[in-house]
Amino acid sequence: HGYTDTRIEVKRLKQSRIPIIKVRWNSRRGPEFTREREDQFRKKYPQLFTANAPSTNAAS
C-alpha cells in the first residue's frame, strides 16, 4: 500500500484484548479492508494518530 495516495479510516475493534484496528485503504482498485495491530500500526504511521487528525479519517 502506498501511503501517499491512500486515505485510511481507522476503527477500533473492542472485542479483542490486543488492540486491533480495522483499516480502510482507498486504492485505485477500490476500497480494501485490513486488520492491523494498533501498536504496530502506530509505529508505521504515527502521523495518523496525532491530535490534529480526526480518528475516523486522515488526509493524505
Per residue of the chain (60 residues), give pLDDT as tens.
444 455 666 777 666 677 888 888 888 888 888 888 888 988 998 887 776 555 555 554
Locus of grid cell 482507498: 26
Grid coordinates representing 55 are 480518528
Prediction pTM value: 0.51
CA angle centred on 56, ends 46 and 58, rounded to 5°: 50
Let me know if residue 59 belongs to a domain. no
Residue 20 is part of which domain span?
A: 8-49
**Structural domain tally of the chain?**
1
Name the nearest CA neighbour of 12 among 45, 32, 40, 35.
Answer: 35
Let me know if residue 56 belongs to a domain. no
Let me know if residue 3 belongs to a domain. no
Let me know if residue 1 belongs to a domain. no
Question: What DSSP element (H or E) covers 31?
Answer: strand 30-37
Let me know if residue 27 belongs to a domain. yes
C-alpha 15/C-alpha 31 separation (Å) is 24
